[in-house]
A and B are shown apart, each in its own frame.
Chain A
Amino acid sequence: MNEITPAQLAPYVTGGAFALSFVFGAVANKTNFCTMGAVSDWVNMGDLSRMRMWLLAIAVAVLGTSALQLTGTIDLAKSIYTGANFLWLSYSVGGFLFGVGMTLGSGCGSKTLVRIGAGNLKSVVVYVFLGIAAYMTLRGLFGAFRVGVLEKASITLAPGQSLPSLLSPWLGLSGETSTAILAALVGGGLLAFVYASRQFRASFDYTLGGVVTGLVVVGGWYVSGHLGYLAEDPKTLQEAFVATNSGRMEAFSFVAPLAYSLEYLMFWTDQSKILTYGIASALGVIAGSAAYAIATRSFRWQGFRDAEDTALHMLGGILMGFGGITALGCTVGQGISGFSTLALGSMVTFLAIVAGAAATMKVQYWRIMNTG
């Protein structure tokens, strides 16, 4: 009998991740989907349209991911977001610093990739600094602080931190019923809020950006959690999620994969380093954005304005790298993928990121008002 090996499945996983993120990159470029922009429009102009686009992505992701869970297609307990270890300080500090960093660095991890595809060389520098800082937070100097200080502050939420796991005993319902009810409440509530706006309803791009981003995350869970799932790896006799860096079921996130992409390039000849789901997704966003920019003749090279602009982007990259790893994700990783699992930590991180970005924009405006 021929057994399926991880090596046979890997091209489907990385190919699927690349294809989905290619679509995301193109659509994000076309629709100006930007989580930092969403906060900026709200804080600086009082416009919630792009925030609604982000919330629409979350709503679609919650409903779609819960459907995959309820049909037994994937098991969200095997993602990194739903574990029992509720790292409240890591989510709060990491999320807040990520929000500061994305404001200084012209956008979050995914926006950095979209900008690179459109010709922004500043974002290439952000990519490198973000990737290095993320790696340092995974395994280096910053990692010691993350593990030794921030992760000490945690609460164990058995049997897991997803809202259905937490609330089903209180509601006296099964996990499946709780998931269905909570997904309908959260997803439906967000959809009602999003489409209550006439301005939002009038723009096809807003709906396109939100729906496609949400569906891409759902597709990501399917690729990693279903297509890439091996109940028993022939070599280890353990279950495996093929071609992942975490060894767990993954959806899209754009901090750790940037670090792993640098590692992959630097350790190219090391046979243990392989093209993974995360690395393929980062490449896919760049390629999708570049394809859209070239097709619409909107590709243009952009560089730094001056030394201060350079320094702020470098700092932004570092803060995003540290914050994104510490909080277990970014605006897409925790903000959509994690949120779609209804994990409490993802919701805390989402709020912390928005708070960090909003506070930084207030400081930036105060500086401009006082210095010109």
Chain B
Amino acid sequence: MHYDKEVDARGLNCPLPILRAKKALNDMTAGQVLRILATDPGSVRDFQTFSMQTGNELLSHDASNKEFTFFMKRK
């Protein structure tokens, strides 16, 4: 999937992946896609909630190779 910016949050735990994603989205324009890499199992629930609360659409999330990859569209 095409993405415009990436946040590497691997090795970080809550709340840092969310804070880094917030900062990245803040620097992006509407419609752009952010890719987030994470390893914290709690990040799945965190990004689902973040998407629901902020309106930034979670396009997909995938768990493979012991990592989580999220694609989020800036609202």
Q: Is the CB of A40 within 8 A of B15?
A: yes
Closest 7 CB pairs of A and B: A305-B11, A106-B13, A40-B15, A45-B53, A47-B53, A368-B23, A365-B19
With both beta carbons as reference points, the residue of chain A lying nearest to B12 in the complex is identified as A305
Contact residues on A (Cβ < 8 Å of other chain), bracket: 20 to 34
Residue B54 interfacial (CB < 8 Å): yes
Contact partners of B15 in chain A: CB under 8 A = 36-37, 40, 44, 103, 361, 364
Residue A239 interfacial (CB < 8 Å): no
Contact partners of A47 in chain B: CB under 8 A = 49, 52-53
CB-defined interface of B37-64 with A at 8 Å, one 1/0 digit per residue? 0011110011001101110000000000
Known: A45-B54, A118-B41, A300-B66. A309 touches B18 (CB 8 A): no
Bound: A309/B52 CA distance, A: 29
With both beta carbons as reference points, the residue of chain B lying nearest to A360 in the complex is identified as B15
- Specify which of B12, B46, B66 is in contact with A309 (CB 8 Å cutoff): B12
B interface residues, how many (CB within 8 angstroms): 25
Bound: A4/B40 CA distance, A: 48
Contact partners of A36 in chain B: CB under 8 A = 14-15
Contact partners of A37 in chain B: CB under 8 A = 14-15, 42, 46
Could you count the A-B residue pairs with CB atoms below 8 Å apart for me: how many are there? 68
Contact partners of B52 in chain A: CB under 8 A = 47
With both beta carbons as reference points, the residue of chain A lying nearest to B26 in the complex is identified as A369
Other CB < 8 Å A-B pairs besides A47-B53, A364-B19, 4 of them? A32-B42, A40-B15, A44-B19, A103-B15
Residue B20 interfacial (CB < 8 Å): yes
Contact partners of B11 in chain A: CB under 8 A = 302-306, 309
Residue B22 interfacial (CB < 8 Å): yes
Bound: A70/B53 CA distance, A: 42
Bound: A106/B54 CA distance, A: 23
Q: List 5 A-B contacts (CB under 8 A).
A: A45-B49, A305-B11, A361-B15, A364-B16, A368-B19
Q: Is the CB of A107 within 8 A of B14?
A: yes
CB-defined interface of A207-249 with B at 8 Å, one 1/0 digit per residue? 0000000000000000000000000000000000000000000
Q: Is the CB of A44 within 8 A of B42?
A: no
Residue B75 interfacial (CB < 8 Å): no
